[in-house]
A = this chain, B = another copy of it.
Amino acid sequence: MSHALTNRILAELNRVRLIDPHSHINPHAAAAKTLGDILGYHYYTELAHSAGLARDRIEEPGLDPKEKVSRLIPRLCEIENTVQYGWLIDLCRAFFYFEAGTITEANWEGLYDRALETLSQPDWEQQVLERSGLDAVFLTNDFDDPLTGFDTDRYIPCLRTDDLVFHLTKLETRQRLAATTRIDFDNPLEFEQALGALFQRFTRGGARACAISLPPDFEPVPVAAPAAGRLFATLRSGSELTLEERRQFSQFVFWKLAEACAEYRLPFDLMIGVNRRVYEAGVYQGQDLFDGRCSLIQYRRLFNAFPRVMFPISVLASGMNQELVSYSWIFPNVATNGHWWYSNTPAYIELDCRSRLQAVPQSKQIGYYSDMYKLEFALPKFTMYRQVLARVLADDFVVARNWTEEQAVELGRRVLRDNVERIFPKISSNAS
């Protein structure tokens, strides 16, 4: 009975059209071209590497996509248990007429060719959006991305600011910012002017969020202008900053970004907890890990200082989810956002989803984002989430609290779709 109930709720959730609030889609090449693009997703390369495939077999320069797939296939049997492999099978069945339960050395070539045929259709991008129920997809744009040549109602710009906060100490990054804003900056005031120009271009270009990923030990605090001025002076002189100065410089830039978010009314999407390049011999994008010892208490000054900026927050460690629930329950400007990366597996989604639905105002929860690099992954990833969500709605709301199925589905619709529009509203172009 509960199983049938879950399936009825799931069927309704499957009808909800989606806006995916975080992805790494390239709007100029949004869909995959070959199965190589699919199996090139870092989940498959890193898991295959973890299971024993040498990195240089995967990342050999100039490797033909079909050859790359042929090298990955023999290792896939070691990862058939993973949910990421499950996405792959779901995707192949949904889009490539695949009927087997596993991809093997015997059946992969036929799959490769059928995939190529499908992916080569001129309207494939439109088809995959439609069949995945996607109305729009948020992008991850470098600060000097041009934001032109694509439909920004479908592919919504999002200003990604990791480079500014963590790499503005590099001359090259400063030159890129000066070039894109046409503002030479050499002190805090000029830097603020450059940021202003940047935010103006992004908000006029349709951006609906500013975003950043942050290491576990990051703690946002304001940095006074004179101290920041000395840091700019050191950089100007060509000297290296000390570790402590680098930390302070990152804090300065981050705080200025938050001020710009306030001024330009952009939500500031924080993805908290990643340590970059922990496994330096790992495959591309398969080098980052985390330190679970991180707390949202580090963000208290930020949340207090910017009551008008909405902070949708993703945490990398499921162990931080209870803090996220509690901070979202108390702070009006903190919202829960999706299930990120190492927490994006059903075991963790289930606990995190349940605890959020039980204690955070329903208007402040963004259920899920795909984090995908190619459009084909929205379908299996959102499907995984919807299955968990349907089960939680059935058990915790219909059964435990006697909600009607309609109420449960409505709650699901809010976290799946409505809150994306509410929390990341369209900015009128003359804001500020």
Q: Which residues of A contact B (CB under 8 A)?
A: 46-47, 49-52, 78-84, 86, 101, 275, 278-282, 286-293, 295-297, 300, 303-304, 307, 317-320, 322-323, 325-332, 342-343, 345-348, 351, 354-355, 357-364, 387, 396-397, 400-403, 407, 411
Within the complex, the shortest CB–CB distance from A120 to chain B, in Å, comes to: 30
Give chain B residues whose Cβ lies under 8 Å from the Cβ of A330: 46, 50, 278-279, 282, 286-289
The contact sample of 25 A-B pairs, CB cut-off 8 A, is: A46-B330, A49-B332, A50-B361, A52-B363, A78-B363, A82-B358, A82-B359, A82-B361, A84-B359, A278-B330, A279-B304, A282-B331, A287-B330, A289-B296, A289-B297, A289-B300, A291-B323, A292-B322, A292-B323, A293-B293, A322-B348, A325-B342, A326-B342, A347-B354, A351-B351
Give chain B residues whose Cβ lies under 8 Å from the Cβ of A80: 362
Find out whether the CB atom of B322 lies under 8 angstroms from the CB atom of A81: no
Q: CB < 8 Å: which of B50, B280, B295, B407 contacts A328?
A: B50
Within the complex, the shortest CB–CB distance from A89 to chain B, in Å, comes to: 9
Give chain B residues whose Cβ lies under 8 Å from the Cβ of A326: 289-290, 342
Contacts A278-B300, A317-B323 aside, 15 further interface pairs with beta carbons under 8 A come to A47-B329, A51-B364, A78-B361, A83-B358, A84-B359, A86-B401, A279-B300, A279-B330, A289-B300, A292-B319, A292-B320, A319-B319, A345-B359, A346-B396, A348-B355
Find out whether the CB atom of B82 lies under 8 angstroms from the CB atom of A360: yes
Find out whether the CB atom of A331 lies under 8 angstroms from the CB atom of B279: yes
Within the complex, the shortest CB–CB distance from A339 to chain B, in Å, comes to: 12
Find out whether the CB atom of B79 lies under 8 angstroms from the CB atom of A361: yes
Q: CB < 8 Å: which of B286, B347, B387 contacts A358?
A: B347
Find out whether the CB atom of B81 lies under 8 angstroms from the CB atom of A358: yes
Q: Complex Cα distance A387/B396, Å?
A: 12
Q: Complex Cα distance A47/B289, Å?
A: 34
Taken together, the copies of this chain in the complex come to 3
Q: Complex Cα distance A293/B120, Å?
A: 51
Find out whether the CB atom of A317 lies under 8 angstroms from the CB atom of B327: no
Q: Complex Cα distance A322/B293, Å?
A: 12
Q: Complex Cα distance A278/B295, Å?
A: 13
Find out whether the CB atom of A279 lies under 8 angstroms from the CB atom of B295: no
Within the complex, the shortest CB–CB distance from A100 to chain B, in Å, comes to: 12
Give chain B residues whose Cβ lies under 8 Å from the Cβ of A401: 86
Within the complex, the shortest CB–CB distance from A409 to chain B, in Å, comes to: 13
Q: Complex Cα distance A318/B346, Å?
A: 17
Find out whether the CB atom of A343 lies under 8 angstroms from the CB atom of B364: no
Closest Cβ neighbor of A296 among chain B residues: B289
Q: Complex Cα distance A52/B422, Å?
A: 13
Q: Complex Cα distance A46/B326, Å?
A: 11
Find out whether the CB atom of B304 lies under 8 angstroms from the CB atom of A322: no
Find out whether the CB atom of A307 lies under 8 angstroms from the CB atom of B293: no
Q: Complex Cα distance A397/B256, Å?
A: 48
Find out whether the CB atom of B291 lies under 8 angstroms from the CB atom of A293: no
Q: Complex Cα distance A290/B327, Å?
A: 9
Give chain B residues whose Cβ lies under 8 Å from the Cβ of A348: 322, 355
Find out whether the CB atom of A361 lies under 8 angstroms from the CB atom of B322: no
Closest Cβ neighbor of A287 among chain B residues: B330
Closest Cβ neighbor of A334 among chain B residues: B50
Find out whether the CB atom of B50 lies under 8 angstroms from the CB atom of A364: yes
Closest Cβ neighbor of A328 among chain B residues: B50
Find out whether the CB atom of B323 lies under 8 angstroms from the CB atom of A290: yes
Give chain B residues whose Cβ lies under 8 Å from the Cβ of A325: 342
Find out whether the CB atom of A281 lies under 8 angstroms from the CB atom of B304: yes
Q: Complex Cα distance A327/B328, Å?
A: 29
